[in-house]
Amino acid sequence: MEKIFEQQTMYCKEHTGNKISYFKINFQGLDSEIFRCGQCALEDSSIKDYLNIESINNSQDDYIFSNWPPICNQKLTDELKQLFKNYVDIEYKIESQFKDLTNEILQAIELKKKEVLNVCSSLKVEKELISRIYNQISSKDELKKILNSDSCIELYKSDLIEFLKKKHEEKESNNLQFQLMIEKIKRYQDIPQIFNFCSIKTQFSQQLNKLDDQIKEYDFFRENINEMQNQLDILIKNKLNEEIQDFDYHFNCFAKGLWKNSENQDFDIFQTIKSTNIYFSKQNQIKLLRGKEQFGSDSKSQDIKVTQHSNQNVISVYKNQEIDFGEIYFKHELSKNKKYTIRFKFNDEGGKYIIIGLINKNNLNGLLSLTKQGKSFCFQSPNHGGNIVKGDYFYTIKKGFTLQMNIDIESKQIQYLDFPLKTSINQLQNEFLLDSESIYYLTIQFGKQTKQIPFETVIDIIHFEEIEKI
């Protein structure tokens, strides 16, 4: 651009005497006039649509323009610019914080050491002092003198008897002196146990170990945000605009998750990141379930709402408070020829009665509550998918919880696990296994036990994958 202006002077078509100094970012087409002069910029209320050519040419690598490049939400550029301006080297800050922490801890330890040593000094009984006090109370030297005297036997005996008589008279006072001395010595010797330095070290180590959770969370964040960047790079490289729009929607959900996490500690941000990644997975074949929903024979089942979010790669199943009992299944055949992975995300605590499982194609009236070929949630029923493979039996859910369901009809089994941590795995009880020769449909059953308060809930099916058997 600079070379063009060096070769020839360009003038504004609107204000013919003025030299070109701007170009307009938002143009209507190739035939539209994008070059503008200063007067154009003054007269146009959309001043943010203009970029100064000289400013671009003179800009340094570390300068960020507020209105360039064009993006859907231009506020993001302002946010990036502000973050760049206020950027802090966090490694240096953390180093400084640890240094300050170390100095403060050492100062506090030194102060406490002096206080404890003062206590020790006030209670200290020297070993030599113990001997001296004992000899004084026992009158050992006097006894030695008597026993080593050259007196005649009668006088020798008389002196010893008189000495023994005197010491017996002092027995109670001597007893008290011994007790006081013993207590003082014991108390002095117990100082290390009383101040319990081992416990202090353990507590300090535990406080430091709490940083491990934050370290793991940031490692998890880094891995997932890098994976999202890689996926976006692939979409951009292949110019998959529709998928990029899908990515944009779900990344906004992810960003909202970050915001929620700052106000609600129960919001599992890293589970949100992992769930967000699911949307972009090439293996997500959730479209195979779209439009396949069928309703159970109970009249209220027809009131269950299914929303197909085509731009979100999600199918939402909504049950309102008026539905005491209802069942919905997806008429996509699941057989022994493939394995299946399905993930569900809960948007609330689910109410009081949910069973997720499979219904036999030849027995569509066979309720999951009766066949027990599904897992119960919100109410405890180990017969419904409560066979523990790993971890604990689980049935409670909360907002943001992601459930993974692994299906292998040839092995007659369904496994349920918390995703992504997979700390617990439950499966069907042995007496309620699948028939390996039958065809099954994915099914969700809602219910309400007697005298329970009506509830509404939304369950999102966020991932469906068919895996070919080798």
pLDDT at 190: 81
Contact between 22 and 51 (Cβ < 8 Å): yes
Q: Residue type for 225, please?
A: I
The reported pTM is 0.45
In a domain, 235, yes or no: yes
pLDDT at 46: 77
Cα–Cα distance, 270 to 213 (Å, whole number): 12
**450 and 305 co-located in one domain:** yes
In a domain, 39, yes or no: yes
**321 and 464 co-located in one domain:** yes
Q: How many domains does the chain have?
A: 4
**335 and 254 co-located in one domain:** no
Helix H segments across 292-387?
368-371
Q: Residue type for 174, please?
A: N
**391 and 457 co-located in one domain:** yes
Domain range holding 158?
132-195
Q: Please list the pLDDT of the chain residue by residue as tens digits (470 residues).
A: 444 444 357 888 889 889 989 888 876 655 567 888 988 888 887 777 888 898 889 989 888 888 888 877 878 888 888 888 888 888 888 888 889 988 998 898 888 888 888 888 877 888 888 888 898 888 989 888 888 888 788 888 888 898 899 989 888 988 998 898 888 888 888 877 777 777 778 888 888 888 777 777 777 667 667 766 766 666 566 555 545 555 555 566 555 555 444 444 333 444 444 444 444 444 468 888 988 988 887 767 888 888 886 556 789 999 887 777 889 999 999 999 999 999 999 988 777 789 999 999 999 888 898 999 999 998 889 999 999 999 999 999 888 888 999 999 999 999 999 987 888 999 999 999 999 999 999 999 988 766 667 788 899 998 899 988 86
CA atoms within 13 A on the CB side of 165: 6
pLDDT at 438: 95
Instruction: Please name which of 253, 289, 245, 294 lies closest in space to residue 274, comparing C-alpha atoms.
Output: 253
Tokens encoding 438: 């039958």
Tokens encoding 154: 């009668």
**355 and 422 co-located in one domain:** yes
**391 and 370 co-located in one domain:** yes
pLDDT at 261: 47
Last residue of a domain, one of 57, 77, 97: 77
In a domain, 121, yes or no: no
What CATH number corresponds to the domain at position 313?
2.60.120.920
User: Is the alpha carbon torsion for 304, 308, 258, 416 positive or negative?
Assistant: positive
pLDDT at 273: 45
Please name the helix (run of DSSP H) or strand (run of DSSP E) that holds residue 295, with its range, or none. Answer: strand 293-295
**232 and 353 co-located in one domain:** no
Q: Residue type for 51, please?
A: L
Cα–Cα distance, 334 to 412 (Å, whole number): 12
**270 and 323 co-located in one domain:** no
**219 and 252 co-located in one domain:** yes
pLDDT at 332: 94
pLDDT at 449: 65
Last residue of a domain, one of 280, 304, 319: 280
Residue 415 carries which DSSP code? E
Cα–Cα distance, 34 to 28 (Å, whole number): 9
Please name the helix (run of DSSP H) or strand (run of DSSP E) that holds residue 229, with its range, or none. Answer: helix 197-237
In a domain, 298, yes or no: yes
SS3 325: coil
In a domain, 100, yes or no: no
- What are the CB-based long-range contacts (under 8 Å, 24+) for 158-167? 163/139, 167/139
Residue that has been written with the tokens 């493939």 in this structure: 338
Contact between 73 and 79 (Cβ < 8 Å): no
pLDDT at 5: 47
In a domain, 99, yes or no: no
In a domain, 106, yes or no: no
Contact between 82 and 56 (Cβ < 8 Å): no
**182 and 221 co-located in one domain:** no
Last residue of a domain, one of 229, 257, 280: 280
**228 and 359 co-located in one domain:** no
Contact between 400 and 267 (Cβ < 8 Å): yes
pLDDT at 393: 95
- What are the CB-based long-range contacts (under 8 Å, 24+) for 166-171? 167/139
**184 and 236 co-located in one domain:** no
In a domain, 83, yes or no: no
pLDDT at 239: 55
Q: Which residues pair with 402 in a beta bridge?
A: 345, 419
